[in-house]
Chains A and B, each alone.
Chain A
Amino acid sequence: MKHLTEEELVGYREGEITQREAIAEHLTSCTACRTELERIEAVLSALDNLPVPERGPEYGRAVWQKIAPQLPEKAGRGWRAWLEPRRWVAIGAMVAVVIGAFVAGRWTKKPDAGTPAASVAQVKERVLVVAVGEHLGKSEMVLMELANATLPVSGPKQINISAEQKRAEDLLDANRLYRETAQQDGDAALASVLDDLERVLMDVAHSPEEITPAKLESLQKRIEAHGILFKVRVVGKELQEKQKTTNSAPAATDSKVRERNKA
Chain B
Amino acid sequence: MIRMSESAGSTQAREALQSAARESDALAVERTLAGERDAFRVLVERHSQQLFRLAYRMTGNEHDAEEVVQEAFLRAYRNLGQFGSRANFGTWAYRIAANYAIDRMRQKRTEDARRSTPSSLAEEQDPLDLVADDRPTPDRLAGNSELRKKMEEALKELSSSERTAFVMRHWEGCAIEEIAAVLKSTTSAAKNTVFRSVQKLRRALEPYVGARGALQAKAAGAAPEPRGTEL
Contacts and interface: CB of A to CB of B under 8 A. Distances in A.
Contact of B205 (A38, A43, A53): A43
A78 interface: yes
Interface stretch (A9-17, A100-108, A109-117): A9-17
A156 interface: no
Nearest to A31: B225
Contacts, number: 162
Contact of B198 (A14, A46, A52, A59): A14
A15 B56 contact: no
A63 B69 contact: yes
B37 interface: yes
Contacts of B148: 50
Contacts of A3: 225, 227-229, 231
Counting contact residues on chain A (CB < 8 A from B), the size range is 35 or more
B41 A64 contact: yes
A14 B169 contact: yes
Interface of A is mostly: helix
B120 interface: no
Interface of B is mostly: helix
Interface string A20-46: 000000000010100110111011111
Interface stretch (B8-16, B19-27, B79-87, B101-109): B79-87
A86 interface: no
Contacts of A46: 138, 141-142, 147, 151, 205, 209
Contact of B81 (A38, A68, A76): A76
A124 B79 CA distance: 36
A194 B160 CA distance: 58
A76 B73 CA distance: 12
Contacts of A75: 32-33, 37, 40, 77-78, 80-81
B198 A44 contact: yes
Interface of A: 1-7, 10-11, 13-16, 30, 32, 35-36, 38-40, 42-53, 55, 59-61, 63-64, 66-68, 70-81
25 contacts: A3-B227, A4-B227, A14-B170, A16-B191, A36-B227, A38-B210, A43-B201, A46-B138, A46-B141, A47-B151, A47-B155, A47-B205, A50-B151, A55-B49, A60-B47, A67-B70, A67-B77, A68-B41, A71-B77, A76-B79, A76-B82, A77-B33, A78-B82, A80-B33, A80-B81
